[in-house]
Structure formats: structure tokens, C-alpha cells
Structure 1
Amino acid sequence: MIDERGGSFAALRSMPGMSRRTGSADAGIGDRPRAFDAMRHRPSRRRNSKGSETSRRSSHMPSTFTKKLATVAQEQHRKFSLFRENQNPLSAQIRLYWTELGLSFPGVGTAWSAVFVSWCMKQAGATKHQFGFSARHGDFIHAAIANAQAGQGVFLGRRVAQYAPKVGDLLHNNRSGNSFDFDFAATHRKYESHSAIVVEVGTDNRGRYLWTIGGNEGDSVGIKEVRLTSTGLVKNPGGLYISIVETTL
């Protein structure tokens, strides 16, 4: 099926502000490499005054909930990123993403990235009253923006240009060549978009970055790198990114 970020996986890799999926891994399937394990534990590096490499990760301390959310997403990537949506065991797991949220399973040909995010949220301990589980990104994004505007709730919609994301947040972007913005998302629910879970924020020799894990990326569970400004804001060429959902649980 077509990737939910708006095209084939090859086209997605060339999107501004996003890099090629940096690896895939599994959980004990034969002798396949655990590439994400290596990435997840690989230190972010910078040069010190003597020219040697040192490591630096985000100083923000994740909460118990956000650590669990990141771990859930990482486990899904490790287990299923070597498979495509029409292959078992991923196709069977996609069915669970739907049914364990109380939703009817329409088949793997239906976009499933929003149910992936919703399922991960539920597995980490969020309730349907805290996070509106949905098959549409626009539903829970709209709710998060409304929460922020009302000063309530634990998932808060933030503007990309004003908020530096952290582990456990959601990064929300356009797809299919659309150019929706935060104000549009604040007043609409039904439109094409994509979101993924931030699982790491850090600094390397090219500057600051984050990694996200999302469903229905390249017809699988994918990982992406997004570059940040020196102050930790998401670089947003051409308005690719719509909003960020801050997780305060």
C-alpha cells in the first residue's frame, strides 16, 4: 500500500527534513541483525576540545509513561520492521492494532498509522479519555490542540515553531503534498496526515536530531531521523510538519 507520509518509501526518503530509515531489527528471528538495538544504544557524539568523541543525549528526563511509550514503539519496530503489511507476523499484528482498540479491522489495505500510535499509547497506559484512540490522526491532534487552548488534559497540541519535542511526544506532518498548518489542524479532524512517536532526542556531530517510530511507513513499522535547530526546534522546510503533541503524563 502507499505510505501514509504521502508516497512510496523511496519518495519518502527524499522528503526535506527527513532521512532514510536508518535500519531495521527484530526480536530473535533467526540470525537477523538487531540494527535498531545498535542505533538505540549508540551514543550521540561530539568532539571535545582535544578532538576525541564524547556523547550527548537530551538532558530532559523522560517520565515513566514516556519511557514506556518509547519502549513499546521500539519493540514494535524490532519485531516487525523486517516485514511488510501483507506478510505475517506483521499482518496479524496490524489486526490487533485495530481490534484491541475496539475498532473493526478493515484489512491491511486501509491506512493504519493512526491506530499504531493509538495502540502504543494504550499499551503504555493512556486511557481513551486521556488520548482519543482513533484511526484518524486528525482526531487526536485536534483534541490535543483543544486541550492546550483550554489549559487541560495531558496531551497538548503545540506549534512546531514554538515547542522543542522530547521523548514520548508525537510529531505530526503533512502527506500527499498537502500544506495544512497548525491553525487548520485546530479546526479540522478529517484530512490526510501522519504522526509518529519520538523515541530519542539528542546531538551528534551534525547538530541536534530526533528519531521517530511510526506505523505504515514503507508498508511496515519504520524509523526516521528528523534534524533540529540549535535550540531543539524541528526544522520545518516548506511547512512539512503541522504540529507536535506534548505528552505530560
Structure 2
Amino acid sequence: MNDKAIDSRMFIANVRGTPRFGNNIVGVLNQSDPVVVTGEQVGDRWLPCSVTLDGEQRDVFVSKNVLRDQVSPAKERLMRECVKQWLRFDKGNAKEHHSPHFNFVGEFWQAIPLNLDGKDRDVPWSAAFISFCVKTARGYSGFKFAAAHSKYAHQAIRRRNENVDGPYWGFRINEHKPQLGDMVCRSRAGSGATYDFALNNDAFKSHCDIVVRIAKDHVVTIGGNVRHSVSKTNYAINSNGFLEGNGKVYAVLRNNR
């Protein structure tokens, strides 16, 4: 019996009472919800699974196309927290300054901690979101919680170059293929940040998102203060699995936990 976890292409997966398409949907699972495969495949795609729906354990069928192997517990917790916040912000449709979401932004700021919320619209909160998710996930001791992405990106790149253990190591985009729980870092507001610049500096305009899904030609990430919400972003990857970058992505932070 293999442990699996949902990884839907649309962040949502239908679970069915019988192994076929049709009027047999008994529930919906979000990405990173746990699934246990309980038997052999039926037909061309259907796997018998045990899942939790509305607090009740159910035996259902799930398409193999929306399942992925589990990764480490720390990575799973981190991605689950990202998805939780994405759902809390109505899948990117809720805005930072609206009620009650401005209070949720305030929770992110407390991870630093700073006494701000979503009504402080002149202060970017994307790094506070990352700090909140990493802290809530647990298992990332030594992470540089900060109000600026450049602080922990610089830390991760320095640690990798100096071979110092840490929860994240920073790589050039042609050195490491992004994996679940990693971070994609790009320059912001014309800063023109590069890997070498980030190696030697910890104060520059930047943005990072957490990878929650690997597809054939792109990775899906979740980040905060993206279109004034918690939203997903797709980053293209080439046939070898490396980020294309498009001139803005300067580093991939590898999740070592």
C-alpha cells in the first residue's frame, strides 16, 4: 500500500464513488490533501483510495493523473500551508485590503513580527507571507525571517557557496531543477538582481514564490502580495527541467528539509 498526496492540475481533484467518469462525484480534494492508495489500478486510470471528506474516512476512486508521491513531511507541511492561505484568499480573488483578508495579512506580518496589516498598502507583504508559511510549517530552523526576500535569498546563496547547512540553499537557474517546496526568486521593480549580486548583497528589490506543483513545461508556485492577494504563478521550464527565467528569475532556493 503506497502513501500518496493529491496534486491536481487545477489545484482541485474530484473523487468518485465508482471508477469512471459520470455523475458519480462524491467529493473534492484540494492540492496536498493526503490520499492513501489501497489497491491496484482499475481500468486505464482509476485508483482505489482512502480519503477524508467532511471529517469522515471514505473509500473512493481517484484518477492516477492527479496523484504524486509524497515528499518530506516538512515540505508537505509547507505546501499545505501555502494552499491553505490560497484558499483563504478565495484562490487569489480576495484582495488584501478587504475584510476579513486585511486581518489575514496582519497575521503574516506577525511572523516577523511587525504590527501591520493589509490596509498598509504602501508596504509590500510578500516576504511576510513567505516567513509566515515557513514558520507555520515548522522544521526550518535557521531560516532568515524578514520583511524583504533579499534577506533570506542572500542567506541561502551564501550558505550554498560556503557549504554551510541550512533549510535552503540558493542555486543559479541552470544548476538546480525546481522541486516541490523550493522557491523561485526573481528581480522586481527594475532592480536587475542577479545571482552574483544576491551573493554579495542582502538589500535589493526581489520577490519569491513557493513551488507547489511540477508540470511538464512549467512549475506552479504560490506567493503573497501577488495581484494584491495570495495567488498562483506559473514559471516556464525547459525540456531538461530547468527554469527558463526570462531574464528576471535569478535563483532557485532548494528546500533542504
Bucket of the pairwise TM-score, normalised by the shorter protein:
0.7 to 0.9
User: Is 1:97 paired with 2:108?
Assistant: yes
2-structure distance, mates of 1:116, 1:240: 21
CA 1:163–1:110: 2 relative to 1, 3 Å: same
Q: 1:67 aligns with which of 60, 76, 79?
A: 76
2:227 maps to a residue whose letter is G
1:221 maps to a residue whose letter is V
Query: In the alignment, what sits opposite 1:191?
Result: 204
- Normalization by structure 1: what TM-score? 0.73
Larger radius of gyration: 2
User: Is 1:210 paired with 2:222?
Assistant: no
- Normalization by structure 2: what TM-score? 0.71
Instruction: Spell out, residue by residue over 1:38-63, the C-alpha distance to the aligned partner (whole angstroms, 9 max, x if none).
Output: 7889xxxxxxxxxx999768977521
Q: 1:178 aligns with which of 175, 188, 191?
A: 191
2-structure distance, mates of 1:39, 1:102: 29
Which structure carries more relative contact order (alpha carbon 8 Å, separation 6+)? 1
- Using the TM superposition, name which of 138-147 and 96-105 deviates more: 96-105
1:9-20 map, 5 Å: none
User: Is 1:156 paired with 2:164?
Assistant: no
How many percent identity over aligned positions? 24
2-structure distance, mates of 1:226, 1:217: 14
1:34-183 map, 5 Å: 61-80=70-89, 81-105=92-116, 107-127=120-140, 129-151=141-163, 152-183=165-196
Query: In the alignment, what sits opposite 2:214?
Result: 201
RMSD: 2.8
1:161 maps to a residue whose letter is N
Instruction: Spell out, residue by residue over 1:179-208, the C-alpha distance to the aligned partner (whole angstroms, 9 max, x if none).
Output: 2210001111111110010011122xxxx2
CA 1:58–1:167: 2 relative to 1, 3 Å: farther
| Unpaired segments ≥5 residues, structure 2 | 1-8, 13-27, 34-43, 46-62
The alpha carbon displacement at 1:101 in A equals 3.0
Higher strand share: 2
Secondary structure of the corresponding residue to residue 179 of structure 1 = coil
